[in-house]
A = this chain, B = another copy of it.
């Protein structure tokens, strides 16, 4: 996954754990695509200060992910959901009998916590 995109996703999960300022500036940089220079100017500070704040924020986000794994879980859940949808499609198309589809979907659901 592209790092920029990954950080944008991590911000969705863990943004609330950052300070308002950290979250706002990371949001401007990673989601609104403002440059360091633009953000620095809007905040009356230096590019270096914004750069340092972003790096600190990234570090926090990756630390939270290493402990809570919410993004990792999201990908896992998405895959389980895809598997359920595939089985529903087999069912609709008559390519699997009802009992078998239901058994598979029940097994899939057990994977989602």
Contact = CB atoms under 8 A, between A and B. Distances in A.
A102 B91 contact: yes
**For this complex, into which size category does the number of interface residues on chain A fall?**
20 to 34
Contacts of A109: 81, 84-85
B112 A112 contact: yes
A68 B17 contact: yes
Interface of A: 13-14, 16-17, 64, 67-68, 70, 74, 77, 81, 84-85, 88, 91-92, 98-99, 102, 105-106, 109, 112-113
13 contacts: A16-B68, A68-B68, A68-B70, A70-B70, A77-B113, A84-B109, A85-B106, A85-B109, A88-B102, A88-B105, A91-B98, A91-B102, A98-B98
